[in-house]
Amino acid sequence: MKNLIEKLDLDNYIQNFQKFLARSKPVVMQGDIHQHFRYIEALGKIEFPPPAQVPYLENSLMRLKKQAVLSLEELYAFVVMVSYFNRLKVLELEEPLRSWIRGIEIPGEIMTTLSYFNDEGAINPQRDRELLSIQRAIKQNTIDIKESLYKLAHSSHLSPYLVDTQVHFQNGEETLLVRGGFNNALKATVVGRTSAGHFYIIPQSISHLKDKQSALLSQHEEIIWRYCKEISAIFHKWERFLGYIDREYDRFDHYQARVFFARAYDYEFILPSKGKEIKLSGFAHPAIENPVLIDIELDKRIMLVTGVNAGGKTMLLKSLLSSVYMSKYLLPFRCNATKTSIGHYKGIEAIIDDPQSIKNDISTFAGRMVEFSKLFSKDNTIVGVDEIELGTDSDEAASLFRVMLDELSQRDITFIVTTHHKRLASLMGVEHDVELIAAIYDEANQCPTYRFLQGSIGKSYAFETAQRYGIPAPIIQASKKVHGEDKERLNELIERSTTLERQMREKMMALDVSQKEIERKQIYLQNRRDELEEEHKATIHTLHLQYNRAIKEAQEALRVKESSEGRRHLNKAHQIQSKSQIEPIEQEKIPLKEGEGIKYRSHKGVLLSIRGESATIEVDGMKIRVGLKDLKRFGNAPKPKPLSKKVDVRVEKSQAGVSIKLLGMFGDEAIDKVDKFISDALVNGLNEVQIIHGTGGGILSKLVGEYLKNHPKIQKFYKMPGNFGITIVEL
């Protein structure tokens, strides 16, 4: 696998991907690729914290089976994984991610061990008064040692012997650096010596502080050992569950790394299809900076790439194989995802390098034959062969490879072959299952374009390439003469054929653009006509209202008496009525097509299917069946509106007492709220309160912890078991 990655120039790409993993591992995922894709797709729709780095724990799990006592670092690694799944459970997840994450049931005993640790992976001293007392004593004793050394370093009787006034660490000990003869001014123990003849010393006056420090550290280690023994005993009971969590963490790591990798580089995921076709649109090989994007289609068993030297033939081969590799292992890459599709292949082979081996007495051609012989035992494989006639006579090789490629392609093997020799291309070009590809050369600027033309044989442009790289013009002319006029004339015919076909393709593309522009204008005119019809109907309705109103006025006048005024109103009514008799303009209806945007009454939607005189449409997320005559064309299908995010910040009461929520707050704002909250709790005589700061990046949790640690009225505080987003405070 590593050899294939290097051959396809994907080594830097894979290294960049592995930076997003919580622990390094092969890119291959075991299991159903479609199921993996559904999890990645669901994960890509949400914001979630990246998992913490953890070591491999296979050895730790084996030792747990034997009831060994694990180190604090090993125990904390399990706690990190369990805590992370706990954090994921509170997120709004989509299926199938929701069922998987919420289906991980964490035993109660495991949950209790989570509160043993602080955010740095050490035993939380707030839950153990003895441990807290020892840590404070160690801290104070360290300060006393530094102060004693500082005083000695600035004392007048020792200053003649001091090299400097710094406190130096030597073998983990705080020392002073002095010159020889220091024992005339100070009794001390030498713990080291410099190349200049100076001494690192520990004054005897702080020996009792050093002894005290050593005793305190021993007590601290004993307490930590006791906790390690206690937690290891619990973990031994749940060793199988911890093994399961370790595997699931690895599985989630595969998913999250792919999601963050895709977001970082704006890459797309392509799920392999059931067929063997490859269609790339806007594809860029990860190894190329500022690439010319590739648009190519491979729907035949053999693709034969010919054309200009240094024109991108090899990179096209590597791009096609790389797209299959990345799609096969659900690695994202740059492409137009809506127009890209990649088939599924069991194997990928790259016959690219020169296989010559002096050690094994194998020539270039012999090495190629060894590589090809292995293909006869394979199936459902895509194979890339660069410079297929390498190392032997091109005419003989053309005949040999034509038969071999034909035979192997019948064994469900797809080939991408590059060649400079037109003999093989002419032999195979007549086959219906062979796709000819020509690398295009820019004659005007005398350089390759790194673009490709399907259905054509390309010229090598060996003379032009040699001249471009500095070979003198007289040598080029002499070479052309030796090459022969008839062969050069054949090259000119190939070149002219390629040019004409390229021009034809460009004209077809221009016609496609024009057709799309006409269709766009047609849709605009249709929408405009519908708008005018609506305005016309509204005008008719208004005229009818005016007519009815005029008739009523005339009738009222005539009831009173026959008069000229009544006749005048009736004449006015008839005039208005005559204006309303406007015949609608009959226009030719353009048939609606499936997938088009439509308007149904006042609603906009998309046409899903047509059956007879009725149609199925999707409007506001609902599918309904309506009459085809009731629909009108309305541009493109409407896009769903993104959901707006909402930050919830409020103070509320919980069942255990009064609690405060800090979700969404900035650091300074949150600490001000906590300060007022603690003051109110003390005034009201509460014994225990909750601070809900969430997990997130852990910044609020850390700020709150530092504030509580220095508050004089707080006896102790700790994270709520099973929910690291809540801190319990005892007043």
DSSP-assigned states of every residue in 230-283: HHHHHHHHTHHHHHHHHHHHHHHHHHHHHHHHHHHHT-B----BSSS-EEEEEE
Domain boundary among 417, 444, 472: 472
Section 115-136 average pLDDT: 91
Query: Are 333 and 255 found together in one domain?
Result: no
Q: Give me the number of domains the chain comprises.
A: 5
Name which of 16-25, 28-37, 327-336, 602-611 the model is least confident about.
602-611
Classify residue 157: in a domain, yes or no: yes
Residue 631 CA from chain centroid, whole number: 41
pLDDT digits (tens, 9 = 90+) for 27-64: 999 889 999 999 999 999 999 999 999 999 999 999 99
CB contact burial 687-705 (16+ within 10 A = b; e otherwise): eebbbbbbbeebebbebbb
Q: What are phi and psi of 644, to 5 degrees?
A: -80, 145
Report the CATH number that the domain containing residue 666 is assigned in CATH. Answer: 3.30.1370.110
Q: How confident is the model at residue 132 (pLDDT cuts 50, 70, 90)?
A: very high
Report the CATH number that the domain containing residue 205 is assigned in CATH. Answer: 1.10.1420
Name which of 97-106, 390-399, 409-418 the model is least confident about.
390-399
Classify residue 511: in a domain, yes or no: no
**To the nearest whole percent, how much of the chain has pLDDT over 70?**
79
Domain that holds residue 624: 591-643
pLDDT score of 649 more than 50 = no
Classify residue 482: in a domain, yes or no: no
Which one is predicted more confidently, 137 or 596?
Answer: 137
Query: Are 348 and 437 found together in one domain?
Result: yes
Classify residue 683: in a domain, yes or no: yes
Query: Are 313 and 343 found together in one domain?
Result: yes
> The tokens of 70 are what?
């694990």
Residue 305: count other Cβ atoms within 10 Å of its Cβ: 26
Domain boundary among 447, 472, 497: 472
Query: Are 199 and 251 found together in one domain?
Result: no
Compute the distance between CA of residue 616 and CA of residue 624 in angstroms, rounded to an integer.
6
pLDDT score of 398 more than 60 = yes
Q: Sheet holding 188-193: strands in order across? A: 168-170, 173-178, 199-203, 188-193
**96 cis-preceded (ω within 30 degrees of 0):** yes
Query: Are 153 and 255 found together in one domain?
Result: no
Q: What are phi and psi of 313, to 5 degrees?
A: -65, -45
Query: Are 17 and 155 found together in one domain?
Result: no
Domain boundary among 472, 504, 525: 472
Classify residue 556: in a domain, yes or no: no
Classify residue 273: in a domain, yes or no: no
Section 541-554 average pLDDT: 74
pLDDT digits (tens, 9 = 90+) for 486-522: 455 555 555 555 555 556 766 777 888 888 888 888 8
Query: Are 200 and 318 found together in one domain?
Result: no
Q: How many CA atoms lie within 13 A of 359 on its CB side?
A: 1
| Helix (H), strand (E), coil (C) string for 456-508 | CCCCCCHHHHHHHCCCCHHHHHHHHHHHCHHHHHHHHHHHHHHHHHHHHHHHH
Give the pLDDT of residue 646: 43
pLDDT digits (tens, 9 = 90+) for 409-434: 888 899 998 887 666 766 676 677 88
For residue 181, what are the CA distances in angstroms to 156, 198, 206, 351, 646?
A: 15, 10, 20, 75, 72
Give the pTM.
0.61
Name the DSSP letter for residue 51.
P
Give the pLDDT of residue 668: 79
Query: Are 254 and 317 found together in one domain?
Result: no
Classify residue 185: in a domain, yes or no: yes
Give the pLDDT of residue 441: 64
Section 523-551 average pLDDT: 79
DSSP-assigned states of every residue in 76-97: HHHHHHHHHHHHHHTS-PPTTH
Compute the distance between CA of residue 580 and CA of residue 339 in angstroms, rounded to an integer.
52
Give the pLDDT of residue 276: 86
pLDDT score of 567 more than 70 = no
pLDDT score of 275 more than 70 = yes
Query: Are 356 and 443 found together in one domain?
Result: yes
Average predicted confidence (pLDDT) for the chain: 81
Query: Are 328 and 354 found together in one domain?
Result: yes
Q: What are phi and psi of 91, to 5 degrees?
A: -80, 155
Give the pLDDT of residue 656: 38
Query: Are 49 and 140 found together in one domain?
Result: no
Section 656-664 average pLDDT: 73
Report the CATH number that the domain containing residue 373 is assigned in CATH. Answer: 3.40.50.300
pLDDT score of 239 more than 90 = yes
pLDDT score of 555 more than 70 = no
Compute the distance between CA of residue 641 and CA of residue 204 in angstroms, rounded to an integer.
76
Query: Are 354 and 313 found together in one domain?
Result: yes
Classify residue 527: in a domain, yes or no: no
